[in-house]
Structures are given as structure tokens and as C-alpha cells.
Structure 1
């Protein structure tokens, strides 16, 4: 058979449903082989969007997302989204074409060392040099993408290898081994938790990756330990759970850090440094730490571990749950939770024009009723989503907080709707991030998808304005001109709803979520709240 026929058979063997990408001359043979496959190729308008789609698909399903580009500029366009999958720990395989091997040793049209470039942002980057190695390389690529902390992998298929004749069969797909924590470390952790008077759990993205939210809830409830989560671990406890302390991650002294200041033991579960460095919550390196994750703890002066339970997060939590009896909840937790709820809901009902970001997110929570998958883009609104928006289910709020790339929301919504067609999907984005991949609304329309886009509209790069004002009390290079979003929506076959006053917002969101088409809800946002929050957190005093 032709090499690309074997390549496609190997992808089918891995259970690939979709390939997101843009075809090119150097992968023409692969595109031809896909015609006879059940794998759906989804054309996009920019390779960056294809990688974002594969990334969000991987995070939501736990299966490996796949994206494709040609050589040169097509391959480099993938790199932003692949970087996102790498630092957000999402299983993705990126496939790129390449010039024929007979010309890669010399100066040649569109040829650069793509394998070398991808080595910096993937777990493994490999060129296929002979066709009969395709089954091994594809099996290794998918296994590597899923192992330990998952992440991105890159496979390059040169055009002359793609068209050669070869033989072979896909290799059997083996299950990922489940590792157990070391018994001596479990015993040490049990003793530390038993002795602790004021323990607190910091839940990270690894709880979502290992599908361990149920086990975390069981452990927290049995032992009576409060739980704070990172941006990417939202929903590990329901928003109304008595033990949740909501979200940490603001680099100012947010109120939830009262709990960390007072704690005598921190239990990190699936915690990734890439989201929120220990120095922000353990700045004097005074807290004892019990570490639960699939990999050993990163070496960091602010992260002194007393016990490391390295293995499957579910298994580690189950071990602790079986060995520790219920403890008394330390009394100050209820007081802290009351303080947090007062701060988080203080502006939920504030009326006016333009609309406060807190009000936008409060109304979104009311409208979506805890069922929607919410994809946040990156910008000032992301910090408000992270701090204020509290979902009721795990893996229902997708935030890029490792790579933290603008432009992820619209491609992410496409992937979310494809992987969860029965769920309402909401993309929350600033106008800057929206314009980076707005063309993918046409892709969504072509696919017959329906979701809601909420645009925080201020005609600025709001997060950069926030940072500049904080540091220098003046701004530069942050303003731009937006199109008429209502006309833009019409031009791509979507519906547009303009919101200028907070009283218009909830009816607009109810209408949008009830619709069976793509709806843009364009909201004029009051970002004067950004500096007010900075001042508020700057004056933070722990009252426990």
C-alpha cells in the first residue's frame, strides 16, 4: 500500500475522530488517503486555530487531539496552539508535511528544521525517514502524548516518503499503566495530615486530567479539609460546596490566601507550577507540603515537600481516604468562606452602562444554569472569569493558564461543541482575542454548530492597559478600532445582540442560549473595575 494509506490506518487504529488543519502541497498524498477514511478532516482558516481545536478537544475528552499543516509557514503557524497544549498538558499530535529528503540537506524552497523547532514545545518531535516505521512512530506518538502529564507530540512526514509503497499493520493500542504511590510516602503523608490542625488542599489541573474530582471530593469531605483550586481546575468541587474556597491564581494577595497564610499543611493535588508559582502562596517557604501528582515535585525553594505521592491521582487520593479518619474542620474556614462570598458577589447586581465584568459573569452563571462548557480567551476578562466565575462541574470551564495564549476561545468553542454536541457552549472573549480567530466562526457555521460568544468590548488590549496603569500610571499601544460586531455576525451567518446596559444582559444571554445558531453577544464592559480590584487586593488584610 501507499505509505499514507498505512499512516491513515494507524490514525484510525488510535481512535482519531477529527483532524483539524489546512492541507498543502506536501501532504497531498495524506489528504487523498483520508478520503476513504471515517476520520473527518476539518478545514480551518489558520493553522493556529487548528492546534487550539486539537488542544481543547484533548482537554475535554481525554483523547488525543490531532492537527495537520504543511511544511514551512503552515507548520510554524501551528506552533502557538501546540505550545498551549504543551504547557497546559493537553494530549495532542501535530502532523506536518516536509520537503522530500533529497533536498533537505541544502538550501531549499520553504524548508526549515521544523522537527528542531517543535522539540522545544513538545514531548517528542520526530521525522519519518522510512515508510515501514510509520506504525511504530504513530503508536509512540499517541502513547507519549497520553503518558504521565499529557502533552503535545509532533510527527513530520516528508512528501517523498508519503508517496512510497510499503507494507505493515498498525500496532496494538495498549492501555496507559496506572501507577501506585510508594507505601512509605503514603504513610508519611497520613501522619502529616493526622497531625495538622489547619490543613488546606490546593487542587490543580491534574485532578481534571486524571478524572479525579469525585475522589478529591470524597477525600475532602471525609477528612474535612477545605479546597482551593487553580484557574484550570475549576469545578473540582461544586460552587456551593461548604469546603470550597474557590480559586487561587491572582498574583496579588487575594482573600483566599488568608487560608494559606493560616494553614499549617498544604496538600497539593495535581498541581502544576506553570499556573501559579509557589512563591505566590508560600513566599516564606514556611508551609509543609504533601505532593500528589503523576510526576515527582519540581525543585523549587518555595516548595519544600515533606511527602510525595507519585502516581495516579485517583489512587493516591483513595489511599489517603482509606487511612485517615474524619478531622474537625478548623473553625476559621467558615469565617473565611463568608468573607470570600461577600467579596465575590458584592457586584453581582450592580446596574449601569457600561457593564461591570462581575455583572457579566454573574448573569452568565444565572443563564447557563451550571450546564455550559465555558471557554475563556486570554485578556483582562480571563482574570475576572478565573476569580468570579465558579462552575458546578469539573472540566466545564476551559482556561489557558500555562501558555495563556490569546485567540483560543473561538477555536476552543468549535472543539467543545464537536466533542460535546448536547452541551451548551459559551466562548468568553475580549475583542482583541476575538479578532485573532474570528474567521473560525465561518468554520463553525459550515459545520452546523451553535454556540454563544460573549465579547467584553472595550476597543483595547485591556489586560495590558491594566498592567501599564499599575506600573507606570500611563498607557501606550493598547487601543484599536473594532468592526461593527453586529454587521460582522450577520456577514458570517450568525446572530448578533448588542448589550449597552446591564439590564439588557440577562435577557440577551437567555435568548442566545436558547438559540440553535451562533450568537454574538457584544457587551460594552466597564474596565475601570480592573484598577479598583488592584487597589482592593493591595489593601488586603487577612481578618482571620
Structure 2
């Protein structure tokens, strides 16, 4: 006789635990009370967010800080729809995420059922797979498959719909162990020999590293040094090679400009792209010019190889396995001439000049010069080398990408290809929980704080050591700048922001203004080990006022020309 051993909900928890999952993010509701009871009795840490959008961002941040899938648990209907932006963020930013959601109501013959949505159809364009679990006996197989799918090839989100009755149903067999791992497509190892030959014969090589190279940082540094290659990264790959390395250009080419980068590519005879998919942001708005005969593209996903940039060779292979194989074959092959440190320094200076060409930046109060560059230099000195900076979407992110030097893999986390406001605080909480020993700093605007600030309740409740720097300008800063440049006035982008000190007191966080020595203020907040809001005033500069005046003139000239054309009819 088969003896039931566990409920479906308990089997979900056991399957997640066996797969190496340590915590889940989400909210309880009527349809998943059995699951939350099972979570209560499991070794998994349950992190209850203020709402499902933030829970999804926490799961995003957890993966991006650790390389381990984030797990999201919600009810169907409104819980599912609140989380959709987080799933989309995970999809576009190659984030492994498991969304365990209740099955929508489905009673045959009855229409207009409660919270009944075709969740599978809604999620299908942004998830790698949709699974349905109707029987407790199927939990182990489905969770194991979903976990592997989230990591295989290009990482991404997977949706798992669970029948409500299944959560309470007893299974007749113990759960089988799941085997997590990245099941990348089979590699053509003969291409590795071609790569080695290309590296040995190349006079100058550029290595272009993306997020997929994060776990191969140590090997890629060795590869860079062995080939004397110039290093450029995508935004999500920054820190794969520390940006104070003499061969790295990541810091100076951290913006969207392409003139210097294209000149670097032109001066090379080989571009080796590792773990990047050349997305819009990863390719600087598709403005990179990479001749196919120069490009070798390596990625764990066959779908991204050659998708936007045709290549001389493509290799479907995990970045770490690839770098190890190449380094092994390079032993005794001699060292190519490559780029010298002086040449890289000249390109670095050229990139810095290009980035400064059209700067219209705000004033940062609390630093002597008021320049963003001085603020970010102080922040870099205050943050330990291995720490992680998380941003939201907005003008502050542009400044971070331009001025913050990333010195460690996964050291910068931004919402890259979806650019969701509300990403910063949630993702930072997830990053804190992924590695509590690693300092995490979130930098957001006051607009982003208004959107997600109550998630600080979760940070305080979970006792994470999180510093949240808030740029306060009373506006959606980047859109305001665009309006001023185009029209000379604003509409819908200025507001009375929250009282930062009062908000901190309300949620139980510490609060400090950036006054005195900025490095000391920032370091003290980071080392406090508690949730601390650092308020930083941001104001207009003379170039911004001049930009407004030119916008006004442009706006009136447009209307005068239009009026003149009408009067001549």
C-alpha cells in the first residue's frame, strides 16, 4: 500500500530546497494559503513584499546578484498581473526566475468566473515556458524541469501554474531530487581551436564581455592579460574585468557614445564577444560597427548568436567552460603583441572626452564642486571593492553609468533593457538576501521613491543592511531635461516629493542628509548595517538653464514659422 508522504505544497517547498533555493518572494492570498503554510514549516526563507511588482524585482535582484534563480510566489489574477512587469524585466535582462502562481479559475460551463484570466497567453511572450501542475505526483518533475529551463541557454523567467486542490493533495511517493544547472547547447569544440588560432595571430584584440561572463571573471581576466586585449563590457557585464585594470575601458565607455568604441574596433583585427547578446543597450543602440570577419561570438544561447551582428565564428558554449578551454590551448602558444597599456590609456582619454562633449548635468548638493563626478568618486571610495550598486530608471542611472567605476563582477545592477521604474529598492533587497556579507547600495530618484518607497518596510522587517541614496529634485529628472531641451518648459514631470526624513521615521529606517564630508557620510551609512536613507539634493546648473532658454527659443520659432505659413495661405 502506498502511503501519502506530503502535500503538493510541501512537495513544492521540498523540490525548491533540493534545487538549492534558499528564499522565495511574494504575497499570500486565498488561493495559496496551503503553500504559505508549507513555507512556514520549510527551511526556505519567505520574504513578503508590499506588492507583487516589488516581489518580482526582488527575485530579479536575487538572481542578478548571485546567478541563482529567484523564486516568486503569487496568487492568480491581480497577484499575477502586478508581477508582469517583473517578468518582462527578467525576460529582457536575461534573468532566471521561477514564478509559481495559482491556476486561474476554470469551471466548465460557467462564464465570468472570479479573477479568471488567460495567464498562460498573457505570459507566453515574456517567459521561456509555461507549466501546469494538477497533481502532487508531478511536482518534482515540473519543478526540476522549470528550474533547469530558467538557467539553460539565455536565462529567463518560467511560469508554473498550480491547481489550488493540488496544494492540499497528498502524494504517494517521495519527491525526487532535482538537478540544477545550466544545460547549454552542445558546443562545437573545433571552433575553440579556431578561436585560439585567431587570438594567437591577431595583432590587436577587443574582448567584449556581457552579463553571461559574470561567473567567468577570473578566467577572462587571465584571457585578457594573455592576449593583451582591450576590454569593453555591456552595462550588465561591467566588473567582469575590474575597471581599474590597465586594459579595461569599461568606465570611460560606460555611456552610449560609439565614436571611440568604433575607432577601437577599427584599430583591432579581432573582436571576441563573450556572454552578450548585442541588445539595444548592449550595442549602444545598434550603433556599433563590427565587421563580420572580425567577430567571434560566444554565448550559452544559440538564439542570440548572429542575431544582430553576423560573425566569422559562433560558438554556443558557457562562458566559463569556453574561457577554460581557450586558456588550456593557449599554453605554450606565445603571447600576441596586443594593445599596450599606453594605447588603452589614450583610448580611455578619448572616450572620456567624447562623453564630456554634450554634458548637461545637474548640480549635486553636498559635494564641494557640485559635480556628479565628485559625488561618485566619493561613493566609490566609501563602498568596499566587492560591493554592489543598484539603480532605478532615470537620470541618476545615466550618471552612474558615466562616473561609477565597477570593480567586481555583478557590481552594478540596473534595469537595462526594460528600464522599469520601481526596480531599484526591490532588486537591492533581493541582492542583500542573495549574499548578506556583500554591501549593497541602492541609488534612486525621488520619483522612484514615490513609486516603491514603502518597500523599505520589507527591508527593515528583513533586517537587511541596505543604504538607499535618494536624489531629490522634485521631478522625473530625465524626462524633465528632455522637455526643457525640446520646449523650454515642463508638464507632468515636476512634483512635491515625499519628506525623506519623515518617510524614514515611518518605516523604521535611519536618515541622513549629505552634509559635511560626503565620503564620511556615505561610508558611515554603508557600515551601519541597517536600512539608511541618504538624502541628496539635486538642482539645476547654468548649462541646464541655458538649455531651457534654447528650448524656449526653439519652441517659439516653431510656432512663429507655423503661424507664418498659415498667414501666407
Using the size of structure 1 for normalisation, the TM-score is 0.89
Cα distance in structure 2, aligned partners of 1:236 and 1:531: 35
Cα deviation, residue 171, structure 1: 2.4
Pair 1:144–1:19, CA change in 2 (3 A): same
User: Shift in Å at residue 416 of structure 1?
Assistant: 1.9
Aligned to 2:388: 373
Aligned-partner Cα distance in 1 for 2:525–2:531? 8
5 Å-filtered alignment, 1:404-423, equals 404-423=419-438
Q: Aligned residue for 1:203? A: 209
Match of 2:558 in 1: none
CA contact (8 A) 2:26 2:52 kept: yes
State whether structure 2 residue 444 is matched by structure 1 residue 448: no
Q: CA 1:30–1:508 in 2, change beyond 3 Å: closer, same or farther? A: same
With over 3 angstroms needed to count, the CA separation of the structure-2 counterparts of 1:115 and 1:301, relative to structure 1, is closer
The residue aligned with 1:9 is: 14
* Aligned residue number for residue 346 of structure 2: 335
Kept in 2, the 8 Å contact 1:278–1:303? The answer is: no
Contact 2:25 2:56 in 1 (8 A): yes
Distance 1:9 1:414 in 2: 24
Taking the aligned partners of 1:239 and 1:270, their CA distance within structure 2 comes to 18
Q: Alignment partner of 1:102: what SS?
A: coil
| C-alpha distance 27-250 of structure 1, shift in aligned 2 (>3 A) | same
TM-score by length of 2: 0.85
1:154 shift after superposition: 0.9
Q: What is the match of residue 361 of structure 1?
A: 376
* 2:315 aligned with 1:309: yes
The answer on whether the counterparts of 2:28 and 2:74 sit within 8 Å (CA) in structure 1 is yes
**Match status 1:325 vs 2:338:** no
**Which of residues 167, 186, 189 in structure 2 aligns to 1:183?**
189
1:136 counterpart SS class:
helix
Distance in 1 between residues matched to 2:429 and 2:129, nearest whole Å: 27
Aligned twin of 2:64: 59
For the residues of structure 2 that align with 1:257 and 1:488, how far apart are their CA atoms? Answer: 46
**Which of 216, 222, 225 is the aligned partner of 1:218?**
222
Q: Offset at 1:349?
A: 12
Shift of residue 415 of structure 1?
Answer: 1.6
Q: 1:99: how far off? A: 4.2
For 1:118 and 1:406, locate their aligned partners in 2 and report how far apart those are by CA, in whole Å.
20
2-structure distance, mates of 1:88, 1:199: 27
* Distance in structure 2 (CA, Å) of the matches to 1:207 and 1:228: 12
TM-superposed CA distance for 1:310, in Å, is 1.5
Which stretch shows the higher mean deviation, 328-337 or 172-181? Answer: 172-181
Aligned to 2:126, the other structure's residue is in SS state coil
Within the candidate set 41, 45, 56, 2:46 is matched to 41
Return closer, same or farther for 1:292/1:121 CA change in 2, 3 Å cut-off: same
Q: Is the 8 A contact 1:372 1:423 kept in 2?
A: yes
Compare CA radii of gyration and give the structure with the larger one.
Answer: 2
CA contact (8 A) 2:63 2:95 kept: yes
**What SS does structure 2 have at the residue aligned with 1:246?**
coil
Between stretches 9-18 and 48-57, larger displacement belongs to 9-18
Aligned residues: 529
The answer to whether the 8 A contact 1:432-1:461 is kept is yes
Check the 8 A contact 1:116/1:125 in 2, yes or no. no
The structure 2 residue matched to 1:157, chosen from 155, 159, 162, is 162
Residue in structure 1 matching 2:90, options 85, 94, 103: 85
Distance 1:75 1:302, change over 3 A: closer
SS in 1 for 2:13: helix
Please point out which of 513, 516, 526 is paired with 2:526: 513
Unaligned 5+ segments in structure 1 are 535-544
